[in-house]
Amino acid sequence: MYWECPYCGQGQTVTSPNFSQIQMHFEIEKPESGEVGLRGQAIRCANPECNRLEIRAEIVRAAFSSGHYYIPTNAKILHRSRLLPPSFAKVLPDFIPAVLRDDYEEACKICDLSPKASATLARRCLQGMIRDFCGISKNRLIDEVNALRKLLADDNAPRGVSEESVEAIDAVRDIGNIGAHMEKDISVIIEVDADEARTLIELIELLFEEWYIAREKRRMRLSKVVAIKEAKDSTKLIAKEASNERPNE
């Protein structure tokens, strides 16, 4: 199982000493919800400098067989929460504007509790990104996305905005009410479920990565190259000055 640590962001393949699962059926007969159970999962980060635990809890549908209830491997998940860390938000670097980070973190925090509020914040965050990173500002998010697509077609899109990132926005637009969410005014709240809200958050994470983080990496690489060139130039200059001081050679 591939997993990305929510604390340090390191991607890794989870192996058994770092993963543990417990599950049980609640022995209460015929509740309104039907027979359910609880499943808990703990994953430890394999990065020795991190070594922290993620703990998730799921309420799952129990199955009945040979006279008793049990939790099947593919049990339907009725509710899922992350207990540790309390929000599934990734820790974002400081060079991403604070207003975007705040909307993103808040959207993550309330995703399970209130998907429609989460999606509203996520949509505002997405709009903020298009305005800040791409310099496009229109009334509706959908108009901004269309303007961005036009820039891309005309070869005028800001660096880092790839065909893929606009396709990712389009793909999310096709999912349930999220599409309607993008077409309506930002103040209109639309019913979405937690999975839809989560999809919108994943889109934002992808764009943070492809736009802001990639741009910063390019900047870092460039400034390294410039520093090397400057160091070389100054060495050459010193060598030249040294040879000028020896006119008799």
Quick check: 55 binds Zn ion (CB under 5 A)?
A: no
In the block, tokens 């820790």 appear at: 91
Quick check: 53 binds Zn ion (CB under 5 A)?
A: no
**Rounded-to-integer distance, Cα 69 and Cα 58, Å:** 17
Quick check: 8 binds Zn ion (CB under 5 A)?
A: yes
User: Token digits for 84?
Assistant: 């540790």
- Among the listed ranges 37-45, 111-119, 156-164, 173-181, the one in contact with Zn ion (CB under 5 A) is 37-45
- Among the listed ranges 38-46, 118-126, 140-148, 212-220, the one in contact with Zn ion (CB under 5 A) is 38-46
Quick check: 45 binds Zn ion (CB under 5 A)?
A: yes
**Rounded-to-integer distance, Cα 153 and Cα 235, Å:** 45
Quick check: 47 binds Zn ion (CB under 5 A)?
A: yes
Q: Which is nearer to Zn ion, 7 or 70 (CB)?
A: 7
Smallest gap from residue 45 Cβ to Zn ion (A): 3
**Rounded-to-integer distance, Cα 93 and Cα 101, Å:** 9
Smallest gap from residue 53 Cβ to Zn ion (A): 10
Are the beta carbons of 146 and 228 closer than 8 angstroms? no
**Rounded-to-integer distance, Cα 110 and Cα 99, Å:** 17
Quick check: 43 binds Zn ion (CB under 5 A)?
A: no
Q: Which is nearer to Zn ion, 91 or 228 (CB)?
A: 91
**Rounded-to-integer distance, Cα 244 and Cα 238, Å:** 10
